Amino acid sequence: VEHKDDVVVIGAGGAGLIAAIEAKLNGANVTVIEKMAFPGGNTLISGAEYAAPENWVQKKEGLKDSKDQFFNDTMKGGDNESNPNLVRVLADNALDGAVWLKDYVNVVFEDRQMFFGGHSVKRSLVPNGASGVEVIGKLMAKAKELGIPVYLEMNAVELITEGNRVVGVKALTPTETHNFMGKNGVIIASGGFGSNIEMRKKHDPRMDEKILSTNTTGITGDGIVMGEKVGAATTDMEFIQTYPVCDPENGALLYTGDVRLAGSAILVNKEGKRFVEELDRRDVISFAITKQTGGVGYLFWDQAQLDKTEVAVHHKGEYEALLRRGILVKADTIDEAAKHFGIDAKELKTTVEKYNEYAKNGKDLEFNKRGGLVAFTEGPYYILKNTPAIHHTMGGLVIDSKGRVLDKNGNPIEGLFAAGEVTGDIHGKNRLGSNAITDITVFGKISGENAAKNLQKVN
Ligand code: ADP
């Protein structure tokens, strides 16, 4: 079956849908193809928080921030391994992207922010329900309104070229072959490779089958492989991020643990002691957890923090299932809660007393926690058992600030664009929490606009 469009987008996750909408707004006929039976990818199952300096909630809360500060945090958070030109684009367009999602795509944001590890100030906007369902739902509605076809169960397998130019994508259903031709370009937005164990191991042998993953099953690096076949360069493939607070049995990212980011919680080990700053970077916390007894951590908080953060309301299904499965315990006393997991209760109580002292004086003398220092009060108390799991692959296709995919000599491959987790060099060694949604929005829009304008021809 042959389809003819101006622009074809591979992947109906956040980056792909945003790119398609922007391409359409720039006058292109555009089609999206998605290999899974549902749209959304990792964006759908994420919390979808959005880091935006100088945003409207910051203004309301009187928090000072700037594009430069966000740029610096992002560079530093990735150990200065990112391409500063791309990070500059990210920082300069972050707020505009958030406003676009809010005002044009109709994404509802809550009237609060979260403090993600590695940022120097609270700047992360929270979509309704702290869930990617809000973002993907609204993006799909907008795509429908604009008449953009989204083909599901359509697996892109190969880029079609004419001479040096990418002119389309070959895709398969269980029974048919489809050629999606894109006169102006193809945008790869197929996400990272967190669910591809072989690919993970090839680039970082530590990331083997023993480590669980938060990713959906479709996230297998297909776009990277397809790009490489037409000469695309890749970068930073060895930088693979684990998320510290995941389900020890199935690897799912545990949003109940967001008490840590939205309020105050401490992370202790089986010995009842804190061992890392709870708002440090994901890689730092993950690594620290793997060194504790049993390779697990225990997040502790009280009823006041649960109420304040409304985590049990926002993530009700997950919260209740965790209690039922005994991965989360709720108990009237610290002793009882600790006993459930065999944690040293006496030591935990000492840890809590010390933390309360730090909260009172506004200074964490052990780990210098940068925010969320609130003393614990009475029970019930909660403990959540957690372990790190593969979350984000920082590496991928090399792009320029126009979203064009570059070859090994640094020249744009005609007709080929990319955006989102499939690209590299934006988050360096470690992506900061809530920077991915900023990334897919900013670079999704840029790639969509430039593909629509058939940028290669103009240049
Ligand atoms: P991003 O955050 O960069 O948008 P997501 O993980 O949200 O990434 O979305 C990537 C989407 O691409 C997922 O829905 C995934 O199923 C889809 N995808 C991955 N590989 C292919 C492929 N070969 N053909 C079509 N869609 C693909």
- How many Å apart are CA 51 and CA 68, to the nearest integer? 13
Q: What are phi and psi of 291, to 5 degrees?
A: -90, -5
Kindly list the catalytic residues.
Answer: 282
- Ligand 1 atom nearest residue 437's Cα: 2
Per-residue pLDDT tens over the stretch 28-74: 999 999 999 999 999 999 999 999 999 999 999 999 999 999 999 99
DSSP 17-85: HHHHHHHHHTT--EEEE-SSSSSBHHHHHS---EE-TT-HHHHHHT----HHHHHHHHHHHTTT-S-HH
Strands 109-114 and 124-127, how do they pair? antiparallel
Rounded to a whole number of angstroms, the CA Rg of the chain reads 22
The tokens for 388 are 């790190």
* Pairing of β 381-393 and β 328-331: antiparallel
Second-level CATH architecture of 242-389: Alpha-Beta Complex (3.90)
User: What digits encode the pLDDT tens for the residues 375-421?
Assistant: 999 999 999 999 999 999 999 999 999 999 999 999 999 999 999 99
Residues of the chain by 3-state class (helix, strand, coil), percent to 5: 40, 25, 40
What mean pLDDT comes out for the span 134-146? 98
- Which pLDDT score is estimated for 372? 84
Q: Which of 21, 22, 35, 394 to mutate to test the pocket of ligand 1 (most atoms within 8 A of CB)?
A: 35
Residues 298-330 pLDDT 10s: 999 999 999 999 999 999 999 999 999 999 999
Ligand 1 centroid to 20 CA: how many Å? 13
Q: Which residues in the chain are classed under CATH 3.90.700.10?
A: 242-389
- Other C-beta atoms closer than 10 Å to the C-beta of 249 total 11
Other C-beta atoms closer than 10 Å to the C-beta of 165 total 15
| Smallest CA separation from ligand 1 atom 14, residue | 41
Q: Is the ipTM of this complex over 0.90?
A: yes
d(CA 322, CA 222): 33
The best mutation among 139, 219, 228 to test binding of ligand 1, ranked by most ligand atoms within 8 Å of the C-beta, falls on 219
The amino acid at residue 175 is T
Q: Residue 438, Cβ neighbours under 10 Å: how many?
A: 28
Expressed in angstroms, the distance from the first to the final Cα of the chain is 32
Answer whether 135 contacts ligand 1 (Cβ < 6 A). no
Token pair for residue 187? Answer: 């945008």
- The β-bridge partners of 459 are none
The pLDDT of residue 48 is: 97
Q: Does ligand 1 have an atom closer than 6 angstroms to the CB of 420?
A: yes
| pLDDT band at residue 246 using 50, 70 and 90 as cut-offs | very high
CATH of 2-194+394-458, one of 1.10.12.10, 1.10.260.40, 3.40.1260.10, 3.50.50.60: 3.50.50.60
Contact predicate 194/219, CB 8 Å: yes
Eight-state DSSP code of residue 191? -
Ligand 1 atom at shortest distance from the alpha carbon of 16:
4
State yes or no: pLDDT of 458 exceeds 90. Answer: no
Question: What stretch(es) of the chain map to CATH 3.50.50.60?
Answer: 2-194+394-458
**C-alpha 34 to ligand 1 mean position (Å):** 7
pLDDT at residue number 283: 87
Confidence at 25, pLDDT banded by 50, 70, 90: very high
Whether residue 348 has pLDDT greater than 50 = yes
Query: How many Cβ atoms from other residues are within 10 Å of residue 437's Cβ?
Result: 30
Percent of the chain with pLDDT over 90: 96
Percent of the chain with pLDDT over 70: 99
Which pLDDT does position 459 carry in this prediction? 42
20 lines ligand 1 (CB under 6 A): no
Q: What is the pLDDT of the chain when averaged over all its residues? A: 96
Task: Give yes or no for residue 280 CB within 6 A of ligand 1.
Answer: no
Residue from 18, 32, 34 whose mutation best tests the ligand 1 pocket (most atoms within 8 A of CB): 34
Q: Is the CB of 33 under 6 A from ligand 1?
A: yes
Q: Which ligand 1 atom lies nearest to the CA of residue 36?
A: 16
The pLDDT-based confidence of 457 (bands split at 50, 70, 90) is: low
Q: Give the integer Cα–Cα distance in Å for 351 and 362.
A: 16
Work out the pLDDT band at 456, boundaries 50, 70, 90. Answer: low
* Whether residue 421 has its Cβ less than 6 Å from ligand 1: yes
